[in-house]
Amino acid sequence: MSTGRDLQGPDLARRDPEENIVLGIETSCDETAVALVAAGRRVLCNIVSSQVELHRQYGGVVPEIAARQHLANILPVLDEAFTRVPDAWSRVRAVAVTHGPGLAGALLIGVNAAKTLAFSRNLPLVGVNHLEAHIYGNWLYEAGEEARSEPELPAVALIVSGGHTELILMRDHGRFERLGSTRDDAAGEAFDKVARIVGLPYPGGPAIQRAAEGQLGSSRPGNPQAFLLPRAHLGETLDFSFSGLKTAAQRLIQKQREALANPTIPADLLADLAASFQEAVVAALISQTLTALRLYQPRSLLLAGGVAANVRLRTLIRERSTVPVWVPPLRYCTDNAAMVAGAAHFRIQRGCQHALDLDIDPNLPLALSSSEAGSMHVIPPRPGAMDASG
């Protein structure tokens, strides 16, 4: 059986890529996920057990229920993975796990599972940052596919989900800088809240998109210009804010309701409200992303996170980006463990692994290389930049 010392970069590079399988585990929110990934890219299996149905009745993820469900799901999900790739154990070279950021009680299940596997099978343990993992979703391809071309670095990454809205500069593998993040709600959270107000189910993102596209009984697609919703102006930063937009949407919906005799919003009006709200969220995301592209001149733009599944966001960002745009397939946008195994592969190549006292960190920052830590958060003045698409 291999030990941690077998895994340093040069050794890894010499191996047959198929012999370099990383077992990935992800339990940071409400998906219990396990994956086997060869050479950081080729996904042999990607098993995700979603708890979305369980949390729907509460309108969002309930941390204690999520933790209980992870404990119940973890072995069935592992079993499924190793049933699909029966000879995998002999080729697994490391166990990787998301150790933050995320829900504490949920992270605990994955981290303790990974540690126990690393200990009992004498394999190296690699803790991975959830946001870093999302970025590496862009390197993944399926076992049946040809190897894909890969994003050129440096890259700017936009990570948008129910829990995160982050702009990250990836100078190189392992060299990340956070350029901006949300000051209040995550973009996905704003979708969830507005969906709840208009009576659409959780998760809100897909529901709002369907309503905006005219798929929820309306006679036409929603008009994104039907209602003007405010854009947050956050000075000379690349941060985001969605709470003002959410409140404005809430007021608008209330006003529209008061004008109705019936408490149910007619399908055409719902389509317009959904399209206008979606447009405002997408515009905010794109405006800051385009500014980041202008300031940092990267060679690629990477999208990641569940909200990257939004068709309007994908379409507009592809139209307006000045550099090639990478968007993972939907199954690697939402939370999954293949991206965790993928990110771990690049960490291992840099000689990173963790001891068995690895802890969870619900607020884990994306690691900075020390040489760059001093220079981040400083954004040069750029007159008028905030008006770009606002």
Partner 1 sequence: MRVLAIDTSGVLASVALLRDGEVEDARVWRSHSNHTTRLVPELQRTLAAAGCTPADVGAVGVATGPGAFSGLRVGVTTAKLLCWSLDIPLLAVGSLHARAELYQLNGEIVSATDAGRGEWYWARYRRDDRGVIELSPPAVGSPPVILAACNATAAIVGESLRLPEGFAGKHVLLDSSPQAGYVAAIGVARLAWRRWKNGERDVPALQQALYVRRSAAEERKRPS
Separation CA 335–CA 66 (nearest Å): 14
- What burial letters (b/e) apply to 153-192, b meaning 16+ CB within 10 Å? ebbbbbbbbbbbbbbbbbeebbebbbbbbbebbbbbbbbb
CB of 331 to partner 1, least distance (A): 24
Range in contact with partner 1 (rule: CB under 8 A) among 158-166, 237-245, 337-345, 358-366: 358-366
Beta partners for 48? 33
Question: Based on CB atoms, which residue is closest to partner 1, 76 or 217?
Answer: 76
**In the bound complex, what is the minimum distance in angstroms from residue 99's beta carbon to partner 1?**
9
Residue 23 vs 190, nearer CB to partner 1: 23
**Residue 83 interacting with partner 1 (CB under 8 A):** no
Is 356 one of the binding residues for partner 1 (CB under 8 A)? Answer: yes
**Residue 79 makes contact with partner 1 by CB under 8 A:** yes
Ramachandran class of 47: left when φ > 0, alpha when ψ lies in -120 to 50, beta otherwise: beta
Within 10 angstroms of residue 259's Cβ, the number of other Cβ atoms is 8
Indicate which single residue of 7, 47, 108, 309 sits in contact with partner 1 (rule: CB under 8 A): 108
* Interactions with partner 1, residue window 22-51 (CB under 8 A): none
Nearest approach in angstroms of CB 68 to partner 1 is 7
Contacts of 216 (CB under 8 A, 6+ apart): 200, 207, 210, 267, 270, 271
Q: What is the DSSP string of 250-301?
A: HHHHHHHHHT-SSSSPPHHHHHHHHHHHHHHHHHHHHHHHHHHHHHH--SEE
- 85 touches partner 1 (CB under 8 A): no
Least gap, CB of 364 to partner 1 (angstroms)? 14
Q: How far is the CB of 12 from partner 1 (least distance, A)?
A: 23
Q: Output the CA torsion 275→280→284→290 (10° steps).
A: 60
Q: Which stretch binds partner 1 (CB under 8 A): 9-17, 75-83, 246-254, 335-343?
A: 75-83
Asked if 71 is part of the footprint of partner 1 (rule: CB under 8 A), the reply reads yes
We find the least distance from the C-beta atom of residue 372 to partner 1, in angstroms, to be 29
Select the residue interacting with partner 1 from 11, 65, 216, 390 (CB under 8 A).
65
Q: Which of 50, 91, 104, 267 binds partner 1 (CB under 8 A)?
A: 104
Q: Does 117 bind partner 1 (CB under 8 A)?
A: yes
CA-to-CA dists, residue 284 to 219, 238, 242, 313, 390, angstroms: 28, 10, 9, 10, 7
Instruction: Determine if 57 is a binding residue for partner 1 (CB under 8 A).
Output: yes
